[in-house]
Every structure is written in structure tokens, then in C-alpha cells.
Amino acid sequence: MKKNNSVVVAMSGGVDSSVAAARLVDEGYQVTGVHLALSKEKTVSGTKGCCTLDDARDARRVADRLGIPFYVWDLSERFQEDVMQNFLDEYAQGRTPNPCMRCNEKIKFQAVLERSIELGFDAVATGHWAKIVNSPQGPLLYRSEDDAKDQSYVLSVLNQEQLAKTMLPLAGSTKPELRKEAQARGLITAFKPDSHDICFIPDGDTAKFLHKHLGNKKGNIVDVETNEVLGEHDGIFEFTIGQRKGLGLTVPREDGAARYVVSTDVATNTVMVGLPSFLRVEVVTGTNLIWCGPILDSPFDCGAQVRAHSDRVPATAFHQDGNLTVEFKEPLQALAAGQTIALYDQDRVICSATVVSTNRS
């Protein structure tokens, strides 16, 4: 990327994107800060999550400090359709979506990148913790040097065309170093806490949010081995695969062993519970296959990651017609349809897919 190129920096109002913008200014890029308005209902000051009024004010104050133009882009309608409605639809179908990955795929990169290019900008930059390396095979996505903050998993929904127009200025840093740098620069966000909440559920009560939008639908909680009814529920979306607490079961096992949610059935509105052995997953199939680098011949060996900060496990992957099958060399525990699986070649992201089915041993 040429030093005089114009770059849009998505400024969330946090320390990561603040330093990302500052570094690009130092490097001579023509930087414009953009804060994304993702909800028609403004989140009030003092609440958790991201995209609050406080966040927008902090982003503007950082932009003023850096002497760069600053705008707020209203992407609320697209966010409502592509992220929030998708979140509700997936839960209604008994799947477990990751709205942050959906937002990265559809909003922070696809929508923002499309608008930026239309307006004449050359690239989009964010404060994500990962690394893009140019190679003869095109841009490649790698894990961050700061393993504790690595976000390559949530960026695994980006294809090479998007990576070619993306800049990640935090590569090579650690979070403590970043905060010291922000303090030295006099940025108001230097010691601002990180947000870990779903931005459109600022109180963190996902069950309450789902009940508000999906209503109540009573059904049974059933033992997967005996088919015995053990209790009732008000909606299968209240439960996640692998959940142990808060099941409200009325019939304990004779051996005293704990039961876990092992599956849900939308057709019968049933939650199935059983021993941890029923959570073992040996094979998954996925759709919406996205290649972050060159397409590899099938099959290929890889490391598979199924959550943002979970370990990568050895696996063999097969692909055909945009679909992916992954066989784990050691069974995983508690993997649900709707989750994203990202595949790695050591620290390089190969591809990602959305899990549609699991085969339990």
C-alpha cells in the first residue's frame, strides 16, 4: 500500500482502533476516521457493549487529537438485517450463531469496504489483532503475535479480495505495549476497558433478548438415553450445547452424575440432555466456505479452531462444491450447528465455514 493512499479507519471508540489510526497517520497515509452507527436506538451512556454514545464521542475526540477527518456512517438498516435478524433466525432454528463474526463478514468489512471504495478510498483499516502478509499467492492472514488477543479466528470470514484492501496496523504488538503507546500519545482511550458483550445486548442477558423477540414456546427436556421427560423449558434458544447449569431438571440420575445439553430439536421443541460422552464430536460438515488464501487440494491436514480463544486441534479437511468436511484426529466436546470452524496451517488461516451438522461418536 502506497504511503500517500487514503485509508478509512473503523474507529470503535476503543484503544485498539485509536492506536491503529495513529500509526497510519505517522506512516503518512491520508487517514479518515469512521464510527459505525449500528442501531437506530442509541445505546445510552454508561452501558456495556460497543457502539454506545460514549464510544462515538471517544472516537471523535481521538480523531481530533490526531487531526484527521471524522464521520459517522449509519449502517443500522444493514446491521439489523444482516446481523440482528440473522442472530434471531439462527436461534429460532436451534443453531448457535456468532454475531461478531457475522458483523465482521457483512458489516465491518463488506459494507464498510464497499462504501469506502465507492467514495474513492484505497483501503480499510481496523484495530483487530491479526496480521496480513503479502505473498506471491496474494495476501495471507496470520495469527497475531499476542496470542492472548489474537482475532484471526473472527477474521477468518474474509476472502483474499477483501484482505487485499484491508490493513491491520496492530500486527507485531502486545496489548500492554499498545496501552503504553496510547498513553504516550495522549489518547483518551488509553486505559478504556475492552468490551466483550454483544453490542445489541448491552446488559448481557441473551435469553431475555431472545424471549423478547421470539416469545415463549414451552417444551420438554428429555433424557437422550431413556427418553424420560425430566423437565420443561420456555424456548430451546435458552440452551447451548454443553450447558450444565440452570437446566431446572426435576429427576436426578441414580448415579448422581450431571447431565448436559447434548442437542435440541426444533421440530419437536425438545431439549435433549445426557452424559458428557454424548457431546463428543468426531466429524463436522460446514457450508459458506470462505478461503483466506489459495484453495488447497482436498484432502489436507490442518489445525481446527471452533471458538474465538479455543485451542487448535489436529484434523483432516475435505472440500467439494463450496462445502467442507472436517475429521478431528481427537474428538471435540460440545460443538453446535451455527458455529464457525476456522482451519489453520500452523499460524496461517486457510479458510472458514459455518457448521451445519456434527457427527458424535
> pLDDT category, 361, cuts 50, 70, 90?
low
Distance from C-alpha of 226 to C-alpha of 104, rounded to nearest angstrom: 42
User: Out of 23-37, 91-105, 190-204, 260-274, which region has the weakest mean confidence (pLDDT)?
Assistant: 190-204
Residue 48 clears pLDDT 60, i.e. is over it: no
Give me the pLDDT at residue 49, please: 47
Task: Please confirm, yes or no, whether 199 is among the known catalytic residues.
Answer: yes
Does CATH place domain 216-274 in 2.30.30.280?
yes
Closest Cα partner for 193 from 317, 52, 30, 354?
52
Distance from C-alpha of 65 to C-alpha of 57, rounded to nearest angstrom: 12
**Do the strands 323-333 and 123-125 form a parallel or antiparallel pair, or are they unpaired?**
unpaired
Distance from C-alpha of 104 to C-alpha of 183, rounded to nearest angstrom: 28
Candidates 50, 103, 292, 302; catalytic one: 103
Every domain of the chain with CATH number 2.40.30.10 lies at: 279-360
Residue 51 clears pLDDT 70, i.e. is over it: no
Gap between the terminal Cα atoms of the chain? 49
Read off the pLDDT of residues 308-355 as tens digits, 9 standing for 90 and up: 889 999 999 999 999 999 999 999 988 999 999 999 999 999 999 999
CATH topology of domain 279-360: Elongation Factor Tu (Ef-tu); domain 3 (2.40.30)
Give me the pLDDT at residue 41, please: 59
> pTM value?
0.91
In percent, the amount of the chain with pLDDT more than 90 equals: 76
Candidates 50, 51, 100, 199; catalytic one: 199
> pLDDT category, 2, cuts 50, 70, 90?
low
Distance from C-alpha of 214 to C-alpha of 33, rounded to nearest angstrom: 37
User: Out of 41-45, 131-135, 257-261, which region has the weakest mean confidence (pLDDT)?
Assistant: 41-45
Give me the pLDDT at residue 241, please: 92
Q: Which of 37-41, 235-239, 286-290, 355-359 has the highest mean pLDDT?
A: 286-290
Every domain of the chain with CATH number 3.40.50.620 lies at: 6-127+169-185
Give me the pLDDT at residue 46, please: 45
Give me the pLDDT at residue 251, please: 84
Average pLDDT, the chain: 91
Question: Can you tell me the mean pLDDT for 128-140?
Answer: 96
Q: What is the CATH number of domain 6-127+169-185?
A: 3.40.50.620
Give me the pLDDT at residue 203, please: 82
> pLDDT category, 1, cuts 50, 70, 90?
low
In percent, the amount of the chain with pLDDT more than 70 equals: 94
Residue 275 clears pLDDT 80, i.e. is over it: yes
